[in-house]
Structure 1
Amino acid sequence: MKNIVKNLALAYMLIPSMAFSQEQVISKRIDSLFQVISEYKMLNGAAQITVNNNTIYKSSFGYSDFARGQSNTKTTSFALGSVSKIFTSIAILQLRDRGKFKLDDRFIKYFPEFPYPNITVRQLLSHTSGLPDYNVFESAVAKQPEKVFNNGDIIPLLKSLNQSLIFNPGEKWQYSNLNFCLLALLVEKVSGSSFEVYVAKKVFQPAGMSETYFYTSKHIKPLKQAINHDYPLFINTVPIDADSIKKVKWRTYNLNGLLGQGNIYSTTTDMIRFDQALYGTKLLKSESLNEALAVSQLNLGMPNITESALGKAVYGLGWYVLQDTTLGKIVFHTGGVPGAICMFVRNISRKQSFILFDNTFSPNVFNIGKNILKILNARPTETLRKSLTRDYVIALTERGIDNAFIKLCALKSDSLHYSLNEDEMNELGLQLLYAGKTPGHVSEALEVLKLNVLLFPLSFNTYDSYGEALAFAGKKQEAIEMYKKSIELNHQNTGGQAALEQLLK
């Protein structure tokens, strides 16, 4: 009996040690992941990870302002994009809980001028309304290119367009930012406050989110706010302020007055505070939060399944809910605006959460998120690979064709950290051809597109694009041969056939 007691006591003493060891392993794997991310510049932003309300990783990367060489820090604020929809969802559920309306009320009950009488509040909240997305502003922006549109413009615009819904309300699922702009109008209508004031008072303040705020064209940009950066073209070697890129002005300027769907900035610290607040009742009753995180059903009783950044998911009421529950119940939202992307993930079964920000719209963010989840739950990770196209174009632009070729060969051999993307190389070559500014831009375009043919010899499109460049450079016979090869690989290449017929005349 004494031996049994002794063994039990020993086992009891070992439990904290074993748990601590497992935490150490997770911490080391997280550190190793971010060392690779930092070394290969796969993230330009910030990250914070918590387990059981304890932060196990927090860091920042890259620049908040490339032009000034100003670094991102742990207190830099970033664009949340569509992650902002979570706050709108909370506001709606709070007001519903106060008896201001029912989720199955028709929106027209509160806005009689709304042109779609059958859409309910629930359908707006679950993206099953059938409303179109930002594209409804296309003609309005064209007519008033200097106007900053706000939520009050949406209903008059929908009435003036007089278009049918994409599908009957509740019949299908399709993401639309307009849904949440309209919900913001409802918040204002029933609360008597502006949407900004209501969310700040009823969501940000109770959650202790002192570093979170709305940012639209009427606000002054805070000093610690990261500038959203992007590359206008692949041939650009340094990202610039996305606000200065003409092709996205309709988003960064014309639609900058919209609320409910986005235009909120926050820090990693505040988003973790928000996560922790959701475990209590500061923001919502547990029943209401569970309702938001439940599977929304379509009219025929089918779940509204969609592909997401983490895999197949359903959309609840302002949240994505991952279908695969192997690692626990995982709820999340992603957000993206020109020049910025983010990801907020909560594993509510195991009290794990993380926030990732990037202010250069890095394509790596979602894969980084997947690997964080795997590490937190003792699973093997996927290899993160950086596209080598950007490094190649820097070498090409700064040091010439030969140096760039050597660089490409070196990076291509490092398949553990770099990948080669046919579409990116193709886009780079065509941009050099038509938008290049240097005296040798045509030669550079020919080099890139020729390399793409050699790297992807089974793709009809590489031959087609190389043929296009050869024809542009006056190399008619060579262009003919490339178009012939492209058509041989794809008999449905009607564009290539037309170009070939023109060359043979």
Structure 2
Amino acid sequence: MKKSSLVLLLVTLLSLFNCKKDDSKTDKPDYQSKLPNYSNVKLDKVFSDADRQLDNKAQILSQINNYYDMVWERGNLSGSFLVAKGDDILVEKYRGFGRENSQMPIDKDTPLHVASVSKTMTAMAVLKLVEAGKLSLEDDLTKFFPKFPYPNITVFSLLSQRSGLPKYEHFDQSIKPKPAELDKAFITNQDVLNILERDKPELARPSNTGFMYCNTNFALLALIVEKVTATPFPQAMQEILFKALGMDHSFIFQEKDIPTAAQSFYNGQNRLYPLDNLDLIYGDKNVYTTPRDLLKFSTAMFSDDFLKPELKAKIFEPYSNEKAGVNNYGLGFRMKVFDNGEKLTYHNGWWHGSNTVFVHLLKSKVTIVALGNKYSQRVYSAMALSGLFEPFPFEVEKLNKVLNGGKANAGNADSANVNASHYSE
């Protein structure tokens, strides 16, 4: 064999070996399953297509604007507001400032903390991984965390808020002596898992026996996303959702963002709401985004291309039916299931001085977004606008009270006891 041929053969074999070696080193899950590209969705159209015009558009626009004037302008709220049908924006308003000393005027490109509305996006990232075959709703948590001490808790248990796990924000009260992690300036999602595995705090209720809203569920889901993708959650969310959907002003809040991200303030004041040691836990909160980006997310969920139909249908099923009532929870979404068979799907949020509303109406394809960063229960009244588009009698009644000068915080039946603490809704 000629020397040149031998060298070529050796180079080829070495190349093949290195390729195999690299494949084994970089064998990361293919979590970036194909998504439709919504980055070019035109959001500056208002009733531009005749077939999408509302029958009573002038009246509806008048009522929405009257609502905004009554609640946001007269209430001196700070934040972002948007109502859209499909990808057509009907009303869009911004007021106030994102940072101290009247810095960062809030506009369409100003990301605000959406608090527990983050759960809707964490849930969708998890479901994209389910769709890609990288995990299952029936997977037990011990598959991801071998030392996890609570039996029969699955990915589904977390998404549907039925795990019964203790709330991490109460660890300092329920675990004695207090875990050392809670003395850190900022505790992490991994710290939450470590405390559960080591200290084994008692379940708040037996698992899978009923609904119990719990931030721990979604903090653990974020860890599962990290485990499956071998990627930090902030980066995984960019790849799975934000970049794929053209949500160019969305990110997961991290310590590096403290000097530049929008802040939140106390009720009716310009006094800053300070950070505490729970502020860097993500999955349950800490998505920063804009109404237009949330509209892209909502528009994608209306599409048949975002998730397989059978998987998307699971999102909006009411899974906690042990107790009679209107309120229920699907997979990362709250809902109100009325006696007339109608279903209002949404999620509220609350963290420090931030109050948020994200309504995603399945029949009318209407999106309502209200993001406030100066604490006020009145922000939650935006959900009452859903009664303009679908037959939700109670929401119509609440909206009428607002427009007729009644209590401006009508529609906040879902919010937690606002005097109890600053924990997310």
TM-score range, shorter chain: 0.7 to 0.9
Give the root-mean-square deviation of aligned CA atoms. Answer: 2.8
In the alignment, the residues of structure 1 paired with residue 52 and residue 300 of structure 2 have an alpha-carbon distance, to the nearest angstrom, of: 29
1:156 aligns with 2:170: no
User: C-alpha displacement at 1:200, in angstroms?
Assistant: 0.8
Q: Contact 1:72–1:226 at 8 Å: present in 2 too?
A: no
Cα distance per residue 1:304-355 (max 9 Å; x no partner): 667xxxxx32111111122127595321111111011100001110111110
In the alignment, the residues of structure 2 paired with residue 193 and residue 227 of structure 1 have an alpha-carbon distance, to the nearest angstrom, of: 27
| Residue aligning to 1:109 | 143
Q: Contact 1:45–1:61 at 8 Å: present in 2 too?
A: yes
In the alignment, the residues of structure 2 paired with residue 384 and residue 155 of structure 1 have an alpha-carbon distance, to the nearest angstrom, of: 43
In the alignment, the residues of structure 1 paired with residue 180 and residue 75 of structure 2 have an alpha-carbon distance, to the nearest angstrom, of: 38
Which of 271, 274, 286 aligns to 1:240? It is: 271
User: C-alpha displacement at 1:366, in angstroms?
Assistant: 1.5
Q: How many residues align?
A: 351
1:373 aligns with 2:386: yes
In the alignment, the residues of structure 1 paired with residue 272 and residue 52 of structure 2 have an alpha-carbon distance, to the nearest angstrom, of: 48
Higher helix share: 1
User: C-alpha displacement at 1:79, in angstroms?
Assistant: 0.6
- In structure 2, relative to structure 1, the CA distance for the partners of 1:263 and 1:325 (3 Å cut) is farther
User: C-alpha displacement at 1:158, in angstroms?
Assistant: 1.6
Identical-pair percentage: 25
Larger radius of gyration: 1
| Residue aligning to 2:405 | 416
- In structure 2, relative to structure 1, the CA distance for the partners of 1:151 and 1:332 (3 Å cut) is same
Look up the equivalent residue of 1:101 and give its one-letter code. Answer: L
Q: Contact 1:42–1:364 at 8 Å: present in 2 too?
A: no
1:31 aligns with 2:65: yes
SS of equivalent residue, structure 1 residue 200: helix
- In structure 2, relative to structure 1, the CA distance for the partners of 1:213 and 1:305 (3 Å cut) is farther
Q: Contact 1:173–1:304 at 8 Å: present in 2 too?
A: no
Cα distance per residue 1:435-480 (max 9 Å; x no partner): xxxxxxxxxxxxxxxxxxxxxxxxxxxxxxxxxxxxxxxxxxxxxx
Q: TM-score, normalised by structure 2?
A: 0.75
Mind listing any 5+ residue stretches in structure 1 that lack a counterpart?
Answer: 1-15, 232-236, 244-251, 307-311, 386-414, 421-505
Mind listing any 5+ residue stretches in structure 2 that lack a counterpart?
Answer: 1-49, 410-425
| Residue aligning to 1:278 | 301
Cα distance per residue 1:184-231 (max 9 Å; x no partner): 111111222222221110111121100100112233543xx4320015
Q: Contact 1:107–1:120 at 8 Å: present in 2 too?
A: yes
1:383 aligns with 2:397: no
Q: TM-score, normalised by structure 1?
A: 0.64
- In structure 2, relative to structure 1, the CA distance for the partners of 1:281 and 1:206 (3 Å cut) is farther
Where relative contact order (Cα < 8 A, 6+ residues apart) is larger, the structure is 2
In the alignment, the residues of structure 1 paired with residue 349 and residue 201 of structure 2 have an alpha-carbon distance, to the nearest angstrom, of: 28
In the alignment, the residues of structure 1 paired with residue 281 and residue 309 of structure 2 have an alpha-carbon distance, to the nearest angstrom, of: 30
In the alignment, the residues of structure 2 paired with residue 124 and residue 263 of structure 1 have an alpha-carbon distance, to the nearest angstrom, of: 18
| Residue aligning to 1:265 | 288
In the alignment, the residues of structure 1 paired with residue 324 and residue 139 of structure 2 have an alpha-carbon distance, to the nearest angstrom, of: 24
User: C-alpha displacement at 1:69, in angstroms?
Assistant: 5.9
| Residue aligning to 1:481 | none
Which of 237, 247, 255 aligns to 2:278? It is: 255
In the alignment, the residues of structure 2 paired with residue 219 and residue 23 of structure 1 have an alpha-carbon distance, to the nearest angstrom, of: 41
1:226 aligns with 2:262: yes
1:329 aligns with 2:346: no
Q: Contact 1:110–1:186 at 8 Å: present in 2 too?
A: yes
| Residue aligning to 1:88 | 122
Which of 210, 224, 230 aligns to 1:186? It is: 224
- In structure 2, relative to structure 1, the CA distance for the partners of 1:177 and 1:31 (3 Å cut) is same
| Residue aligning to 1:197 | 235
Look up the equivalent residue of 1:256 and give its one-letter code. Answer: D
| Residue aligning to 1:339 | 353
In the alignment, the residues of structure 2 paired with residue 17 and residue 101 of structure 1 have an alpha-carbon distance, to the nearest angstrom, of: 40
User: C-alpha displacement at 1:289, in angstroms?
Assistant: 1.4
- In structure 2, relative to structure 1, the CA distance for the partners of 1:17 and 1:338 (3 Å cut) is closer
Look up the equivalent residue of 1:169 and give its one-letter code. Answer: S
- In structure 2, relative to structure 1, the CA distance for the partners of 1:45 and 1:304 (3 Å cut) is farther
- In structure 2, relative to structure 1, the CA distance for the partners of 1:325 and 1:354 (3 Å cut) is farther
Cα distance per residue 1:247-288 (max 9 Å; x no partner): xxxxx3311221211111001111111111112255422221
